[in-house]
Amino acid sequence: MHTTFKTFARAALIGSLFLGAASSALARDTTINVAVQSMGTAGSIEINENNGTAARKFQNSVFEQLIALNLQDPNLAFKPGLATEWKWIDDKTLEFKLRPNVKFHNGDIMTAKDVAFSFSDERFGLLPAQIAARDKGESTFTRADGSKGIVPPATVAASRASEWPLLDHVEAVDDLTVRIVMKKATLDTEARLARVNYAGVISRRGFMEAASWNAWAAKPIATGPYKVEKLESGSAVHMVANGDYWGGKPPIDKLNILIVPEAASRVNGLMSGEYDIISDVGSDQVPMIEGSSDFKVVGGPVANVRFIALDENNGPLKNVKVRQALSHAIDRKTIVDALWGGRTAVPQGFQHPLFGDLFATGHQTSSYDPELAKRLLAESGYKGEAITYRVHNNYYPNELTIAQYNLENLRAIGFNIDFSVIDNPNDPSPDRMMQDLSNTAYFAFPAALLANNCPNGVYNSKTNPKGGMWQSDEFDALCNVLNTSTDRAEVKKAFSRALDILENEDPGMIVLHQNAILYGKKANIEWAPSAMFAMDFTPGHFAVKN
């Protein structure tokens, strides 16, 4: 942490400082350096392109939604964001009253036209002219009025279908009134609009005048408390306080998000004073950090579930009994108690309590039962063929330690595991079978966790034949219920059944534990992490004690 004292011009004030009577009037420029494991997609801060867990840690400092999540609440309750109030005016139309005099990072006042544009075809690259340009490999297109516009990549275009399956359009009623119009009545519209990813409001003029997609993605223009000053691709994101922020003066003048992949380097940097906050502290590193009164570890469980994805298309995993045997061979309790030191928990399956009354209370994931695992493996006819198990190099906290413990348990059952640590475990090569992953419940509805396995999701092998891993016709039909039904009892029943299929009957995954994010910080920093990956540096939620 670095502070620079500004010069005061008035002699009377200088005199009072010498007398110790006006120390509170001393102005400071505060620089905070935060070391994180990754920034996600290198070269992009854009929420519809860089939408993984790593980017969520800092994107909320740049982007904001109509409905905000209370990041200080473990249940992530809704609260007014860029909208001060909202109401349903019919079963498909949600009307918002916008907060007046909100300024974008370029100084423009936010209006309903900006909100409508944030969900428009052009913003997602879905205009016919954009599609044609993208197919030709061109980075710009020509609008009907002759002006040039940018062309988002295909992944951004695809995100609109997967993340907004029932959105019809967004319309500006007047400068401060906007309507979200759905194709049919839904239960999850408000939850989707409160997401840290996919629901951020951007400057219409800023996007339309961007020179290229890469230029926009490196320095997007939104409304958050901090604006991007410079992006060093894959290395750092340098932000400065948004002096016009509607929520008050941001507590940090210069916020540097620094990419430091090695956990030991982050810890060493914290203790040497190079970093003020570090993320993704391993449970084994806690004693070292807290061994000094100058530092403290904070954080805990987040709305994210760690799991092993199973590719049913390859090798022995084509056999459902082999996958069932794998699911009963994992000792989750020891993972949580011993490898995490009790700092997280075994979830009740692939779900999270923020789902409220839709939480599948009767569901349980496969139990740890080595004898049942051995019996299922024998019944499968397994002959000792190699099963690949791929993990990142600690992309997730404790990933390697947990994977090595799982490896011991799996081999004890009789599995022949080909274990490897690679940069991209998701690579859909012919020998992909088991891979470490996580999903975030980043909005308060079951589809938030299941979307990747549902039709059009990245793991669904029917709608994504090139990269998908698993698919079930019954599960797909249940996804449709989750996405279209307005009967809460029907949705809860469908969700419970979908979990039973995915985890137990026809396993497409093995649930491991609720993820936890631990942060190391200087002891004089008053700051608490959220139950989401997002770090909250808004006014009132960060301070440095003298």
231-250: pLDDT as tens digits: 999 999 999 999 999 999 99
Task: Note the Cα 444 to chain centre separation in Å.
Answer: 13
How many whole angstroms separate alpha carbon 511 and alpha carbon 341? 19
b/e string for 348-365 if b means 16 or more Cβ within 10 A?
bbbbbebbeebbbeebeb
**Which residues have CB under 8 Å from 157's CB, separation 6+?**
124, 125, 126, 131, 134
Radius of gyration, alpha carbons of the chain: 25
How many whole angstroms separate alpha carbon 61 and alpha carbon 78? 18
Q: Tokens 């800092």 belong to which residue?
A: 58
- The pLDDT score that the predictor gives to residue 1 is 44
Structure tokens, 90 = 């019919």
Per-residue pLDDT tens digits for 172-217: 999 999 999 999 999 999 999 998 878 999 999 999 999 999 999 9
76 band by pLDDT with thresholds 50, 70 and 90: confident
Stronger pLDDT, 404 or 29, i.e. the higher one? 404
Domains and CATH numbers, the chain: 32-259 (3.40.190.10), 303-515 (3.10.105.10)
For the chain, the straight-line distance linking the first and the last C-alpha, in angstroms and rounded, comes to 12
483 band by pLDDT with thresholds 50, 70 and 90: confident
- The pLDDT score that the predictor gives to residue 293 is 96
Q: Give percent of the chain above pLDDT 70.
A: 95
How many whole angstroms separate alpha carbon 281 and alpha carbon 110? 38
Per-residue pLDDT tens digits for 391-411: 988 888 889 999 999 999 999
Distances (CA, A) of 213 to 64, 156, 420, 496: 20, 11, 35, 41
52 band by pLDDT with thresholds 50, 70 and 90: confident
Let me know how many helices (H) and strands (E) the chain has, helices first.
18, 21
How many whole angstroms separate alpha carbon 486 and alpha carbon 185? 7
- CA torsion through residues 111, 114, 117, 119, sign: negative
- The pLDDT score that the predictor gives to residue 118 is 98
- The pLDDT score that the predictor gives to residue 13 is 35
Per-residue pLDDT tens digits for 98-148: 999 999 999 999 999 999 999 999 999 999 999 999 999 999 999 999 999
pTM of the model: 0.85
Mean pLDDT of 256-274: 96
- The pLDDT score that the predictor gives to residue 283 is 86
How many whole angstroms separate alpha carbon 422 and alpha carbon 419? 10
Q: Are 150 and 138 in contact (CB under 8 A)?
A: no
Per-residue pLDDT tens digits for 148-158: 999 999 999 98
28 band by pLDDT with thresholds 50, 70 and 90: low
Please give the mean pLDDT across all residues of the chain: 92
How many whole angstroms separate alpha carbon 494 and alpha carbon 488? 10
- The pLDDT score that the predictor gives to residue 25 is 34
Task: Note the Cα 280 to chain centre separation in Å.
Answer: 14
- The pLDDT score that the predictor gives to residue 23 is 35
Pairing of strands 67-69, 78-80: antiparallel
Mean pLDDT of 486-491: 96
* Window from 24-28, 259-263, 431-435, 493-497 with minimum mean pLDDT: 24-28
- The pLDDT score that the predictor gives to residue 19 is 35
pLDDT score of 94 more than 60: yes
Q: Give percent of the chain above pLDDT 90.
A: 82
Stronger pLDDT, 487 or 2, i.e. the higher one? 487
Residues shown for the chain = 546
22 band by pLDDT with thresholds 50, 70 and 90: very low
